Chain A
Amino acid sequence: MKIAVCIKRVPDSETRVKTAADGKSLDDAGVKFILNPYDEFAVEEALQRKEKAGAGEVVVLALGGPAGQETIRTALAMGADRGILLQTDAVPPDAFVTAQAIAAELKAGGPWDLVFFGKMAIDDYNGAVGPMVAELLDLPCVTAVSHLAIEGATVTADREIEGAVEVVRCALPAVLTTDKGINEPRYPALKGIMAAKKKPLDVKAVALAAGVIEVLEMTPPPARKEGKIVGEGATAVPELVRLLREEAKVL
C-alpha cells in the first residue's frame, strides 16, 4: 500500500503568537512550532494502514520554509519511510497555490493508494488544500474522517457532522482528511528519532504560481473587557438578574 501524507508545520496552539511588523503575518520569534495536530492523526492512520497491509510505503510531504524538515522528521520518527519538502519562502496565503504544488508532486511520485491530510491546519483553519488536491488529481475526497474502514478497494468513512454521524463510501485511490477520534497518534519513540536522521528526505525548491488571494491585515482579537462585580451573596442576585436582562440582554 503506497500512502502519501501531506503535513504542515504550525505554531504550537499553546504559544502566544504576535503579529509581525508588517501587520500581515505572524512573528516567528520565540514561537514553538509543531506538526499540525490533525496531521498527526493523518500520519498515524497512514502508518496503521501500512502495518495492516503488511507492506507498502508512507511518504510524508510538506510545503514551506527549510524548517519544515524538522516537522517532516517528526513524522519520520513516528515511522514514516521518507519525506519530501517542497521548499518555498513561505506558505502562500492562497490554498489553491499550495494545492497545485502538492498535486504536481503527488502526480509525479504516484500512483498512490491513499493520500491523507489533516482536516485543517490549526493556524489558518482553511481546510481547503486536501479537497483541492483531490480535485486536481481527479480522486474522490472524504473530509473530516473520524472512523475509517477499508475492505479491498472500498473505503467506508464516518464523519461527525452536526448532531449525527454520516457514513460515506468511495473507492480507492482516495484523498482522506482526518479528524480527531480516528486514532490515538503514537509517541515518536527514541529509536525512531534516531532512525529519522537516516531516512531519505528530499528537499525540492519549488516555484509557486501567483495566487489570487492576498492577506490584508492580521490583528489580534480585541482584549476581553473587564468583568463587573455586582455584589456578593444572595442580596446581589436581583441586581444581577436585572443587569443580565436589561444590559446584557441574555435573559
Chain B
Amino acid sequence: MAPKYHGVDFYAIDSLLSEEERAVRDTVRTWVDGELMPVIGDAYLEGKFPKHLIPGMAELGLFGANLPEEYGCAGLNNVAYGLIMQELERGDSGVRSFASVQGALVMYPIYAFGSDDQKRTWLPQMASGKAIGCFGLTEPDHGSNPAGMITVARETKDGWVLNGAKMWITNGSTAHVAVVWAKTGAPDDSGSIRGFLVPTDTRGFSAKDQKGKLSLRASDTSELVLQDVHLPKDAILPKSGGLKSPLMCLTQARYGISWGALGAAMACYDEAVSYAKNRVMFGKPIGGFQLQQARLAEMLTEITKAQLLVLQLGRLKDQGSMTPQQVSLAKRNNVSMATDVARETRRLLGANGILAEYQAMRHLANLESVYTYEGTHDVHTLVLGQEITGISAFE
C-alpha cells in the first residue's frame, strides 16, 4: 500500500486558510484517500469513469460547492471550492473534470443565465448528483476559436430547433442535460450565441463516446450530434448573450483547473519524495544523489509558487475583483508546472514510473489534456500578450 498522502506545505500556507477552508480540504482529502485512490488505477486502465462515486461526491457536497445553499449547494467561498478541486485532482484529473463540468460549466451557467424556473428545476437535482450535466461549446472544427461555431438554433412558432455537432464533451454520454451553445443569428454573428438546456433524451440528440484516448481515461469524453432537436421556448438560458456567456463559464472552470493541476503536482511530488527516500541504488537511497535532489528542489519550489498564486487568485475572486486574464495566467502556469512535475516524477521513478501502480504517468498523461483543454496553453499565452500590449494576436 502506498504511504499516506500528506499534501505539500513548505511555506505554512495552511496558516493563510481559515479553519473552515482547512476542514473542507481535509474532508475531501480523506474521501479521496478512502474512496477514489483504491479504484482509480483500475478505472484508468479500463477507460471508465468510476460512476459509483457520484452519490458519495454529491453527499459530500462537491458539485457546485460555491453556489448558494438555497439551491442545495454548499455555499462555500472560492478558496474552499479551489481546495476541493485541488484534492480531487490529487486523485485524478478525470474525476476533477467531472466535478468541474458539473459545477462550473453546467450548474454555473444555469445559476448565472438561467430563469428562476430553470434554477429551481436543475440546480438541486445536479447538486444531489441525480442529474448529470455536460457543456457543449467546442466543435470538431472550432476549438480555440469558438466564435466560428456552426451549431445553429432557429426560432420557430413554439420554440427552437437546434442543429450541429459538438466534440470533446466531458460527461457527454452520462449527462441528463446538456448546456448547448448555438448561434441564433447569421453564421458570422458570434454576438448571437445563446445557451440552451437540452435534456439528453430529446429526440434528435445523440452522444457517442470518443474511443482511443490515451489521456483522461477515467473520464467520459463524447461527441454530441444535434439533428433537428426541437426544444420548447423556455429551453433558452434567458440571460445568456454572445460568446461572452460561455467564456464566463470557462473562466469559472479554469479557475478550478488552476487549483486542480496543483493537486496533481502535489500528488506527484509526494510520490517522488517517498520513492526517492526508499529506492536504494548504488548502496544509498536515490534521494541522496544530487540529480534527484535537484529534481525535488525544483518541484517543491514550483509547487510552492503555484500554491501562493492560486490562493491569491481565490481571494481576489472572493472579493469580486478577479479578472479572466489573471485566471489565464494561473491556468497556464499551474498546468504547465504540473505537467513538468509529473514528467520529472515519472523519470525519477525509473521503470516503475511507467506502471499504473504508481501515479506519475497517469497524471502526466492526464495533464497533457488539461494543458490543451479550457483554453490551450498557447491561447492563454496570447490572452496575456493581448492584456500586456493591448494588441490582439488572434485577429
Residues of A near any B CB (own CB < 8 A)? 14, 70, 73-74, 77, 187-191, 193-194, 196-197
Contact = CB atoms under 8 A, between A and B. Distances in A.
B24 A187 contact: no
B70 to A, nearest CB: 12
Contact of B27 (A14, A190, A197): A190
Nearest to B22: A70
Interface residues of B, number: 20
Interface string B70-83: 00001110001000
B12 to A, nearest CB: 9
29 contacts: A14-B4, A70-B19, A73-B23, A74-B23, A77-B27, A187-B31, A187-B59, A187-B60, A188-B23, A188-B27, A189-B59, A189-B61, A189-B74, A190-B24, A190-B60, A190-B65, A190-B76, A190-B80, A190-B84, A191-B61, A191-B74, A191-B75, A193-B23, A193-B27, A193-B74, A194-B75, A194-B76, A196-B23, A197-B20
A187 B4 CA distance: 18
A188 B22 CA distance: 12
Contacts of B62: 190
Interface of B: 4, 6, 19-20, 23-24, 27, 30-31, 59-62, 65, 69, 74-76, 80, 84
B79 to A, nearest CB: 13
A187 B30 contact: yes
Contacts of A77: 23, 27
Q: What's the dominant secondary structure at chain B's contact region?
A: helix
A74 B31 CA distance: 15
B69 A191 contact: yes
Contacts of A197: 20
A220 B65 CA distance: 43
Q: Which 7 A-B pairs have the closest CB atoms?
A: A190-B61, A190-B74, A193-B23, A191-B74, A191-B61, A189-B61, A188-B27
Contacts of A196: 23
Contacts of B6: 14
B196 to A, nearest CB: 30
Nearest to A67: B19
A190 B22 CA distance: 11
Nearest to B6: A14
B278 to A, nearest CB: 15
A73 B75 CA distance: 18
Nearest to A185: B30
Contacts of B75: 191, 194
Contacts of B65: 190
A188 B28 CA distance: 9
Contacts of A187: 27, 30-31, 59-60
Contacts of A73: 19, 23
A194 B65 CA distance: 11
A187 B24 CA distance: 10
Contacts of A74: 23
Contacts of B19: 70, 73
B74 A194 contact: yes
Given A14-B6, A194-B74, A189 B60 contact: yes
